[in-house]
A and B are shown apart, each in its own frame.
Chain A
Amino acid sequence: MIRMKTIWKSKEMSMFLILIIISLIITLKNPVFLSVENILDMLKSNVVLGIMAMGMLVVIISGGIDVSVGAMIAAITVIVGNFLVHISNNILLSFLVGGFAGIIMGGINGLLVSMLEIPPIVVTLGTMSIINGIMLYYTNGNWINDIPNNFINFGTKTPLGIPIQIYFFFGAAILTWFILKYTLFGRGVYAIGGNLLSAQRIGYNVKRIKLLVYTLMGFLTGIAAVVHTSIMKQVDPNAFTGFELQVIGAVVLGGANVAGGMGSVWGTIVGVLLMAVINNGLILMHIPTFWQRFIIGLIIVLAVSFDVIQRKRSEKQFVRVDVE
């Protein structure tokens, strides 16, 4: 029920246009970029980012933040890897274990944020450090290499010619879209991000919503961990150092407001694609990797400044007095 006019004016739309322009530039330099193979490859290597960005989108709309997701996914890949190697090679079970581990970790974040009302940045900084410490003690930084064959086979499946991991990304996106648009929990997420006090007054169970927000983040992180293992066919406990910044970056690039209350699934998809295209495209253009971070940072700063400038301008129009 959003009108075309507001879609065209939205921040999501401007990011989408930037995405198209960057894609065109890269294609001109290296036509390989637009090949089906490259596109699928690019998507596949960013599904983990995409799935987690969906969870982060919900967190950010609620007015929160979760910086423990990098540590969380590292820990869950280790848990799932060990489960597959030592306990059972059942694929469905591995997803259950991953999802469950995520729910527990995210749930702890959620409990601390909602019940004790500790600011989310403090809670998740704490849990990040705790999880990292335990992981280092437990793994000593060692990789897990002997992932069972049936799981590796599962990871190379391509139903309808599309890598199976991409389905998980779109599954996560559809799930998140439905939750945000059609469930009372989802509307509550927007409500507490927009005006916490009003949400309480109107009867939303704010504590439960916050608890669920971080639990959902954990659950999606758990699923992402299993998907990641199916792509890499091994577990590197250090693979996700600093990954939380990429996840948050993708959501912000997708037009979500870090102050809470604003953000959409389609915007976040654009944000993830933008990250993917920049990373992939710069490699295709043989540009050194450190420029990737530089350019992503630049786009985030530009996008947010543009947004702030536009808002200030519209506020100015708002206070106009009719002078005769």
Chain B
Amino acid sequence: MQKVLLSVENISKTFPGVKALDGISFKVVEGEVHGLVGENGAGKSTLIKILAGVEQPDEGGRIVLEGKAVKFTSALDSAKAGISVIYQDFSLFPNLSVAENIAIKDQIEKKKSVVNWRLIYSMARRTIEKLGVEIDLDEQVGKLSVAKQQLVAIARALAHNAKLIIMDEPTSALSKNEVEALFKVIRSLKEEGIAVLFVSHKLEELFEITDRMTILRDGKYMGTYKKEELDEERLISLMVGRKIDIIRKEKKEFNEVVLEVKNLTKRGNFKDITFKLHKGEILGITGLVGAGRTEVAQAIFGIEPADSGEIYVEGRKVEIKSSEDAVKLGIAYVPENRQTQGLITRESIKNNIVITVLKRLVGRMLINPKKKDEIAIDWIKKLNIKPPYPDMLVQNLSGGNQQRVVIAKWLATNSKILIIDEPTNGIDVGAKSEIHNLLKELASKGMAILMISSELPEVLSLSDRILVMRKGRIVAEFEPDNVTQEMIMNAALLGNNSERINYTK
């Protein structure tokens, strides 16, 4: 039996009006990778904050680290005790060197007034070697790739004798190869006897890397299981308390082509992209992150127009040079990062929805508030945005409802073609299926939808046809009733670039 490193005993946390955590108890042993799983709002973030010393738990519970009860009143306390959190933003200094990012904390802890650069460099070098990766110590962190920045964050934790490293959604911005590299690093941390608390939405990754998993649901503890005791279905049912099946779509016939793309090419981004999108069809585009999918979408929407190739909307050849052109042609685009690209989060639901149709709201000179309310309320109803208050600020909505607001905003333009990039990224499992239903409903009303998604179950259950991209090209086309996740993954990883495999009949 391995030694218990961290023991969380009966931890609760009450915010005004909400019990975010309710009597959580579990143990993390030395050198294990421990998954922390739950929907958004299940209490994972609150638990991380408590372990990081940012939030204090309610009276009654305790945290025991290496046999000693500990009380953290600040982030420094928990770091000193050996708990290190790698936040999604990594908490790095983009303007400073790799070495300083890794080792300056040591100088702060020693309360040096004059810093010792030699020590900083030797400490950083040792840590990087221990991780077995290659990073230039002098490079400015802001100039590194996301994956390398993450390694710097891990190196910093390792340099400060972290015994438990908490990784919050560590793979969300990584490509498949980078995820593999990260897992290698995690395994080497394990060998050093360091425990990793791996917080993630992605089930496949949890099954690949963790030894055990603790599941939270609505702030309550649902149990800790060895990986072998679980399968995806059981894990999901523990997380959400209900079963979600992948129901594939039946094959349908479409004949009215709404959007046609021929040999679309943009140097350094994608090449020879050709496909047709029909009225009422959901066309899924999948592939690895970095395969050029988003770039294709942005080219069609005119944000970064292609170098060559042709685009036809309803049979007419069109030139799309800006997003304005695209909107006029009835194309709507919901970007992946809706917080920064799609929404003004400090504004009301109402103002976010009507922003695309302001021209229509203008009377003689001023915006007609009555018309504005009508449109907003109409879309809140149609898309079932909750809570249905037009004046509520978007930042106070859940991820799923924020996504609805973005979609509403674009549908308000009366668009015929909806391009949606990672529609359920960062949305919890429950809200996910609602977004899925919404997309299906829109398609059934005649909307042509181009959906970019990395999540194979999502692609399989929603798409009428599936395109797979790899390294800037479409390498395969499938219909959902005769394809498996493995076939898609195969194409995405190994697909031949010179010829497009067509599995459709």
Binding site for B on A (CB under 8 A): 1-3, 6, 182-185, 187, 190-191, 193-195, 197-204, 261-262, 318-324
CB of B261 to closest CB in A, whole Å: 16
Interface flags for B284-326 (1: CB within 8 Å of A; 0: not) read 0000001110010000000000000000000000000000000
Q: Does B44 contact A (CB under 8 A)?
A: no
Tell me the bound Cα distance from A160 to B270 in angstroms: 66
Tell whether, in the assembled complex, residue B471 and residue A321 are in contact, meaning their CB atoms are under 8 Å apart: yes
Binding site for A on B (CB under 8 A): 75-76, 79, 91-97, 100, 104-105, 107-109, 112-115, 117, 121, 138, 145, 267-271, 290-292, 295, 471-473, 497
27 contacts between A and B (CB under 8 A): A182-B115, A183-B114, A184-B108, A184-B114, A187-B100, A187-B107, A190-B93, A190-B95, A191-B96, A194-B95, A195-B93, A198-B93, A199-B93, A202-B104, A203-B75, A203-B108, A203-B109, A261-B94, A262-B95, A321-B268, A321-B472, A322-B471, A323-B271, A323-B472, A324-B472, A324-B473, A324-B497
For A187, list chain B residues within 8 Å (CB): 96, 100, 104, 107, 115
CB of A35 to closest CB in B, whole Å: 40
Tell whether, in the assembled complex, residue A198 and residue B91 are in contact, meaning their CB atoms are under 8 Å apart: yes
For A262, list chain B residues within 8 Å (CB): 95
For A324, list chain B residues within 8 Å (CB): 471-473, 497
Tell whether, in the assembled complex, residue A323 and residue B96 are in contact, meaning their CB atoms are under 8 Å apart: no
The 6 closest A-B pairs by CB, nearest first: A323-B472, A261-B95, A194-B95, A198-B91, A194-B93, A320-B268
For B104, list chain A residues within 8 Å (CB): 187, 191, 202
Tell me the bound Cα distance from A2 to B96 in angstroms: 12
Tell whether, in the assembled complex, residue B472 and residue A202 are in contact, meaning their CB atoms are under 8 Å apart: no
Max chain B Cβ within 10 angstroms of own Cβ: one of A182, A190, A200, A203: A203
Tell me the bound Cα distance from A108 to B462 in angstroms: 61
For B497, list chain A residues within 8 Å (CB): 324
Tell whether, in the assembled complex, residue A202 and residue B269 are in contact, meaning their CB atoms are under 8 Å apart: no
CB of A266 to closest CB in B, whole Å: 17
Tell whether, in the assembled complex, residue A1 and residue B138 are in contact, meaning their CB atoms are under 8 Å apart: yes
For A1, list chain B residues within 8 Å (CB): 97, 117, 121, 138
For B270, list chain A residues within 8 Å (CB): 321, 323
Given A202-B104, A323-B269, A324-B471, A182–B91 Cβ distance below 8 Å?
no
For A198, list chain B residues within 8 Å (CB): 91-93
Tell whether, in the assembled complex, residue A191 and residue B107 are in contact, meaning their CB atoms are under 8 Å apart: no
Of A185, A194, A201, A321, which one neighbours B96 at CB under 8 angstroms? A194
Tell whether, in the assembled complex, residue A321 and residue B292 are in contact, meaning their CB atoms are under 8 Å apart: yes
For A261, list chain B residues within 8 Å (CB): 93-95
For B107, list chain A residues within 8 Å (CB): 184, 187
Tell whether, in the assembled complex, residue B95 and residue A201 are in contact, meaning their CB atoms are under 8 Å apart: no
Given A183-B113, A194-B94, A323–B105 Cβ distance below 8 Å?
no
For B472, list chain A residues within 8 Å (CB): 321-324
Given A195-B94, A198-B93, A203–B79 Cβ distance below 8 Å?
yes
For A323, list chain B residues within 8 Å (CB): 267-271, 292, 471-473
CB of A274 to closest CB in B, whole Å: 23
Tell me the bound Cα distance from A324 to B268 in angstroms: 9
Of B97, B109, B269, which one neighbours A320 at CB under 8 angstroms? B269
CB of B13 to closest CB in A, whole Å: 20
Q: Looking at chain B's contact residues, is the secondary structure mostly helix, strand, loop, or mixed?
A: loop
For A6, list chain B residues within 8 Å (CB): 138
Tell me the bound Cα distance from A321 to B75 in angstroms: 39
Tell whether, in the assembled complex, residue B75 and residue A201 are in contact, meaning their CB atoms are under 8 Å apart: yes
Tell me the bound Cα distance from A323 to B96 in angstroms: 32
Tell whether, in the assembled complex, residue B105 and residue A202 are in contact, meaning their CB atoms are under 8 Å apart: yes
For A320, list chain B residues within 8 Å (CB): 268-269
For A197, list chain B residues within 8 Å (CB): 91
CB of A62 to closest CB in B, whole Å: 12
CB of A293 to closest CB in B, whole Å: 31
Tell whether, in the assembled complex, residue B290 and residue A321 are in contact, meaning their CB atoms are under 8 Å apart: yes
For A3, list chain B residues within 8 Å (CB): 138
CB of A316 to closest CB in B, whole Å: 9
Tell me the bound Cα distance from A95 to B468 in angstroms: 73
Tell me the bound Cα distance from A198 to B85 in angstroms: 12
Q: Name the CB-closest residue of A to B270.
A: A323
Q: Name the CB-closest residue of B to A205.
A: B108
Tell me the bound Cα distance from A195 to B267 in angstroms: 34
Tell me the bound Cα distance from A4 to B295 in angstroms: 36
CB of B246 to closest CB in A, whole Å: 29
For A182, list chain B residues within 8 Å (CB): 114-115, 117
- Beyond contacts A183-B114, A184-B115, A203-B105: 17 other A-B pairs, Cβ-Cβ < 8 A, are A1-B121, A1-B138, A187-B104, A187-B107, A187-B115, A191-B104, A194-B93, A194-B94, A195-B94, A197-B91, A203-B109, A321-B268, A321-B471, A323-B267, A323-B270, A323-B473, A324-B472
For B268, list chain A residues within 8 Å (CB): 320-321, 323
Q: Name the CB-closest residue of B to A61.
A: B95
For A318, list chain B residues within 8 Å (CB): 145
Of A202, A319, A321, which one neighbours B91 at CB under 8 angstroms? A202
Tell me the bound Cα distance from A309 to B100 in angstroms: 28
Q: Name the CB-closest residue of A to B267.
A: A323
Tell me the bound Cα distance from A198 to B101 in angstroms: 10
Tell me the bound Cα distance from A120 to B186 in angstroms: 43
Q: Name the CB-closest residue of A to B107.
A: A184
Tell me the bound Cα distance from A38 to B208 in angstroms: 72
CB of B137 to closest CB in A, whole Å: 9
For A204, list chain B residues within 8 Å (CB): 108
Tell whether, in the assembled complex, residue A191 and residue B93 are in contact, meaning their CB atoms are under 8 Å apart: yes
Q: Name the CB-closest residue of B to A178.
A: B114
For B115, list chain A residues within 8 Å (CB): 182-184, 187
For B291, list chain A residues within 8 Å (CB): 321
CB of A206 to closest CB in B, whole Å: 12
Tell whether, in the assembled complex, residue B94 and residue A321 are in contact, meaning their CB atoms are under 8 Å apart: no
Q: Name the CB-closest residue of B to A199.
A: B93
CB of B190 to closest CB in A, whole Å: 25
CB of B286 to closest CB in A, whole Å: 15
CB of B45 to closest CB in A, whole Å: 15
Q: Name the CB-closest residue of B to A188.
A: B108
CB of A159 to closest CB in B, whole Å: 29
Tell me the bound Cα distance from A182 to B79 in angstroms: 24
CB of A197 to closest CB in B, whole Å: 7
Tell me the bound Cα distance from A187 to B112 in angstroms: 11
CB of A63 to closest CB in B, whole Å: 10
Max chain A Cβ within 10 angstroms of own Cβ: one of B76, B95, B114, B292: B95
CB of A273 to closest CB in B, whole Å: 25
